[in-house]
A and B are shown apart, each in its own frame.
Chain A
Amino acid sequence: MAQEMKVEGRVQKSNKLRSQLRTDLIGLGFIAPWLVGFLGFIVGPMLVSLYFSFTNYDLLSTPVWIGLENYVQMFTNDDRFWKAIRVTFIFVFGSVPLKLAFALFVAMLFNTKRRGVGLYRTLYYVPSILGGSVAIAVVWKQLFGMNGAINDVLGFFGISGTDWVASPDFALSTLIILVVWQFGSPMLIFLAGLKAIPYELYEAASVDGANPVVQFFKITLPMLSPVIFFNLVMQTIHGFMAFTQSFLITEGGPMDNTLFYAVYLYEKAFAHFDMGYASALAWVLLLICALFTAFIFRTAKSWVYYESEGGN
């Protein structure tokens, strides 16, 4: 009798195990495409490139182990690497806050029931659709060129411009303007966030005599902080990845003043075929991005407000 029950229990247990195994297989079957890509195209190649980063490798001959030499060279003896870091940081810290501020400003303008807002939203979003394209990059160069439209307008006011994209002082600024101009996506996200703020909060605040400025700082910003946080993370990562603008408009110049990290990495890999060094550069970029994301997430606790957590 006892024997029988034990057997039954074992059968049940093995049935349960079998059914879980079946579910596992079904689940893995569904996610298989991603799993293959994740292991085969991301994790695998990245580990291999970690190895290459300790070698001298030109794609054709066999890699030669050189230990930490690539990294040592990068940090102690590569001025262009430091230049690229500097340029990229100026670009990210110049463009992201401006872009978000502008996006929030326009989103607040559009957060109204006035007529025509739908049309305006479309109009303001157009640059974001096209801004990353080669076409706009090509145009930007001419727009800010010596004989471009910008100087034509400035000339009308009696100001004689310069060739903005070829000027060491202004080239990076023209690229920042190009990126800030594409504020459409964060704008839409802010707009959705603004619409989710309960109107009663503002009503109560007005009754208490809070003026619009106070309302903005005490209601809008805190209520919007999760959305600001999301935009900040996404745009920062996006900023570190910037490539096309510099590559096409200024070609990293003049005097490396717009040498984005991604452009430098491209140059090392595909102009010099120094794959070992480029692998090392890619890993350093990964670390920088990871540090930044971690930093933003760390500080988030003190300024991002989540409703479910209750008041601060």
Chain B
Amino acid sequence: MMKNKKTRTLLYHGGIWALGFLMIYPILWTIASSLKPESEIFRNAASLIPTEWNWGSYAQGWEGFGNLTFTTFFINSTFVTTMVVIGTLFSSTLVAFGFARVNFRFRTPLFVCMIVTLMLPQQVTLIPQYILFHNLGWVNTYLPLIVPAFIGGIPFFIFLMIQFIRGIPRELDEAAYMDGASTFSIFWRVVLPLTTPALATVAIFSFYWTWDDFMTPLVYLNDTKLYTVALGLQMFSDPSSVSAWAPMFAMSVVSIVPQLLVFLFFQKYLVEGITAGSVKG
């Protein structure tokens, strides 16, 4: 009996490790390929251990193309992502508080509108918005990437915050209201400080989606000087311009490092965010 249990435990962990290895193999392969000598990448393709450690690809890749280095792309991505995170935090908290705590007329129909846009595919609004931004003269600037965040462009975050604020006891608001606090100071001094975990979740998700986003910058940015890391990498990996594979793999690794770091340090908030909307709501 004892032995049987031990075998099962061993089988369980062994199986999970085997499957887990398969799961992260493509990522390990990317890292390994970035360190292999150029000639070896596609010769011993499946191997994860370079015969010779070739760190030079990183410096070579960072040089980028033309006279644009990855420093430019990282600065651009950092700027866009930071602005989007700030914008998302700003709009999602204000709007969520309005929906969750203020009893204004038309609240329910407007809330329904918000939920409907939650399920609207991005491509449906892409063309209409492009025409609008084109006429505003915003094409080839960061405005189409950043402004939507400030006006609740991703309703998922508003929804997430509403769910969270609904969990904060209303007695706290009422007590503050009795003391003569205005609605805004209830929002600012009572509710907002209690939403910190949800703020972290929202910040992390908007960081991910913006850092990862390929389609929006592709559509709006023409000038290579404005390119984000995603676009820069795509340009860098273009079959017609790739002369060496190892630097391309090296830059692929570098481009995912920020995401990986944020994930490792803040995964708790991520898990909460993913499950909050679906199970509780």
Contact = CB atoms under 8 A, between A and B. Distances in A.
A and B found bound together: yes
Contacts of B251: 135
B66 interface: no
Contact of A59 (B119, B131, B256, B259): B131
Contact of A151 (B25, B45, B151): B45
B2 interface: no
A109 interface: yes
Interface in B140-193: 148, 150-153, 155, 158, 183, 187
Contact of A28 (B104, B131, B158): B104
Interface size, A (range) = 35 or more
Interface centre among A48, A52, A125, A133 (most CB of B within 10 A): A133
A181 B123 CA distance: 23
Interface in B238-264: 245, 248-249, 251-253, 255-256, 259-260, 263-264
Contacts of A49: 127-128, 131
B269 interface: no
Interface stretch (B49-57, B78-86, B94-102, B194-202): B94-102
Contacts of A37: 91, 148, 151-153
A34 B124 contact: no
B121 A289 contact: yes
Nearest to B87: A33
A34 B158 contact: yes
B71 interface: no
A42 B263 CA distance: 32
Contacts of B27: 126-127, 130, 136
B234 interface: yes
Given A114-B9, A265-B123, A20 B230 contact: no
A135 B256 contact: yes
Interface in A1-45: 20, 23-38, 40-42, 44-45
A42 B120 contact: yes
A227 B132 contact: no
Interface in A253-312: 261-262, 265-266, 269-270, 275, 278-279, 281-283, 285-286, 289, 293
A133 B119 contact: no
B271 interface: yes
A36 B151 contact: yes
A220 interface: no
A192 B275 contact: yes
Contacts of B264: 122
Interface string A144-163: 01011111110010000000
B279 A193 contact: yes
B224 interface: no
Contacts of A31: 94-95, 98-99, 110
Contact of A120 (B20, B134, B271, B274): B20
Nearest to B271: A188
Contact of B24 (A34, A126, A151): A126
B38 interface: no
Contact of B123 (A33, A230, A243): A243
B113 interface: yes
Given A130-B260, A227-B279, A289 B30 contact: no
A45 B134 CA distance: 12
B234 A127 contact: no
Nearest to A268: B127
Given A114-B12, A123-B20, A286-B124, A135 B253 contact: yes
18 contacts: A28-B104, A31-B110, A37-B153, A41-B148, A46-B128, A114-B12, A114-B13, A129-B263, A133-B230, A135-B233, A136-B27, A142-B33, A147-B45, A149-B29, A156-B46, A192-B279, A261-B123, A279-B128
Interface of B: 9, 12-13, 16, 19-20, 23-27, 29-30, 33, 42-47, 90-91, 94-95, 97-99, 102-105, 107, 110, 113-114, 117, 119-132, 134, 148, 150-153, 155, 158, 183, 187, 208, 212, 214-215, 219, 230-231, 233-234, 237, 245, 248-249, 251-253, 255-256, 259-260, 263-264, 267, 271, 274-275, 278-279
User: 6 closest pairs, A vs B, by CB?
Assistant: A27-B104, A30-B98, A37-B151, A45-B128, A34-B152, A135-B252
Given A27-B107, A262-B215, 11 more contacts: A28-B98, A48-B128, A114-B13, A120-B16, A129-B208, A153-B46, A181-B23, A237-B121, A244-B215, A265-B127, A266-B219
Interface of A: 20, 23-38, 40-42, 44-46, 48-49, 52, 59, 106, 109, 114, 116, 120, 122-127, 129-130, 132-136, 138-140, 142-143, 145, 147-153, 156, 181, 185, 188-189, 191-193, 196, 227, 230-231, 233, 237, 240-241, 243-244, 247-248, 261-262, 265-266, 269-270, 275, 278-279, 281-283, 285-286, 289, 293
